[in-house]
């Protein structure tokens, strides 16, 4: 089967590609550690050829589309953010085109931005909007969570991304374990400890505003031998995720449940944390980026 769409989820560290049929099914897929930070001298056309030159040759008529950090200031070319509220149609209308190898045109999906009215502070996502478009139906209200280095919580109503917030949970965990005194006691490579993780989730969720104080318990519980060094990493991870959930759900009201999108290890951990605090969580398809790229290509009339 000859693909009609070559879809790329091109992030900071990794590049995932999908060769897709006219009905949106994935014919073939591949992944490589060829994110924008690993592209030498900004040679994105060369990186594209390296990654999927065979696809380009075998499907010369297929449309070519990419989302993620490839459209950032550090990427191939900046695709200006599409402001919230945003849906598939408005995001597709903001897609930009760049010349690629062999005379092919690459379409780059923009990220999504918003400005909080009360604080006048902006927030952005780039790549996550494509996953949301691919995973969330056009009807109903949904709270979508994309765990990661900078987790995103997005409220989607009838296919429209109305509001979202960013949470630096993953990066804060890495900084605390690698660059503060907490790391002196923590064994970051220890196996996951479910009990310690749940304890941390409850402590972080209970008072998110007290996080800067409560983080120190990851040291004192070790000092007083209330937790073993092997359990402290799970405890700290749980506390940070618990505080994220408590803060985000406080901003979003009382959600009936959340939809988790991302890699299995992360979504499993977040689902476990949600269960600890009584929040229902389901896990969406790991191919949501591919489905989102297909929907955006359709909305942009690239497959007509």
| Confidence at 251, pLDDT banded by 50, 70, 90 | confident
What residue has token string 């959930």?
245
| Confidence at 250, pLDDT banded by 50, 70, 90 | confident
| Confidence at 102, pLDDT banded by 50, 70, 90 | confident
Query: Is 116 exposed, middle or buried (CB count within 10 Å of its CB: 0-12, 13-18, 19+)?
Result: exposed
Residue 91, pLDDT score: 98
Average pLDDT over residues 268-296: 97
| Confidence at 42, pLDDT banded by 50, 70, 90 | very high
What residue has token string 């007509």?
304
Residue 101, pLDDT score: 77
What residue has token string 């505003």?
209
Average pLDDT over residues 28-42: 96
CATH 3.30.420.310 fits 80-99+109-304, yes or no: yes
Tens of pLDDT along 53-101?
A: 999 999 999 999 999 999 999 999 999 999 999 999 999 999 999 998 7
Residue 1, pLDDT score: 84
What is the rounded distance in angstroms from the CA atom of residue 281 to the CA atom of residue 285? 13
SS3 label, residue 45: helix
What is the rounded distance in angstroms from the CA atom of residue 295 to the CA atom of residue 163? 21
> What are the tokens at 270?
């977040």
Average pLDDT over residues 267-274: 98
> What are the tokens at 237?
């991870």
Residue of 21, 3, 20, 1 lying closest to 59 (CA atoms): 3
Residue 80, pLDDT score: 97
Mark 262-283 as b/e (b = at least 16 C-beta within 10 Å). Answer: beeebbebbbbbbebbebebeb
| Confidence at 256, pLDDT banded by 50, 70, 90 | confident
Residue 103, pLDDT score: 86
Residue 119, pLDDT score: 94
What is the rounded distance in angstroms from the CA atom of residue 294 to the CA atom of residue 287? 11
Residue 187, pLDDT score: 93
SS3 label, residue 228: coil
DSSP state of 86: B
Domain extents for the chain?
Answer: 80-99+109-304
Give the predicted TM-score (pTM) of the model.
Answer: 0.94
Tens of pLDDT along 169-193?
A: 999 999 999 999 999 999 989 999 9
Helical packing angle, 128-135 and 288-299, nearest 10°? 90
Helical packing angle, 229-252 and 169-179, nearest 10°? 150
What is the rounded distance in angstroms from the CA atom of residue 242 to the CA atom of residue 250? 12
């Amino acid at each position: 089967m000859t693909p009609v769409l070559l879809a790329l989820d091109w992030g900071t560290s990794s590049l995932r590609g999908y060769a897709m049929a006219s009905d949106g099914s994935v014919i073939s897929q591949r992944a490589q550690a060829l994110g924008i930070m690993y592209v030498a001298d900004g040679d994105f056309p060369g990186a594209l050829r390296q990654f999927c030159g065979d696809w380009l040759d075998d499907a010369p008529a297929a449309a070519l589309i990419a989302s993620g950090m490839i459209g950032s200031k550090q990427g191939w070319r900046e695709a200006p953010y599409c402001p919230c509220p945003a849906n598939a149609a408005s995001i597709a209308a903001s897609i930009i085109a760049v010349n690629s190898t062999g005379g092919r045109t690459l379409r780059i999906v923009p990220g999504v931005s918003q400005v909080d009215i009360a604080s006048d502070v902006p927030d952005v996502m780039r790549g996550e909007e494509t996953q949301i478009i691919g995973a969330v139906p056009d009807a109903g209200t949904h709270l979508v969570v994309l765990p990661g280095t900078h987790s995103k919580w997005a409220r989607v109503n009838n296919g429209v991304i109305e509001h979202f917030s960013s949470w630096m949970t993953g990066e804060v965990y890495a900084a605390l374990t690698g660059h503060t005194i907490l790391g002196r006691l923590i064994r970051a490579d220890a196996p996951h400890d479910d009990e310690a993780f749940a304890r941390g989730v409850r402590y972080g969720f209970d008072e998110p505003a007290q996080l800067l104080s409560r983080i120190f318990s990851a040291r004192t519980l070790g000092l007083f031998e209330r937790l073993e060094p092997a359990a402290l990493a799970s405890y700290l991870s749980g506390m940070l995720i618990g505080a994220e959930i408590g803060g985000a759900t406080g901003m979003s009201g009382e959600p009936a449940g959340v939809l988790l999108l991302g890699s299995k290890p992360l979504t499993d951990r977040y689902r476990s944390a949600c269960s600890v605090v009584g929040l229902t969580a389901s896990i969406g398809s790991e191919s949501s980026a591919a489905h989102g790229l297909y929907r955006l290509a359709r909305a942009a009339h690239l497959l007509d």
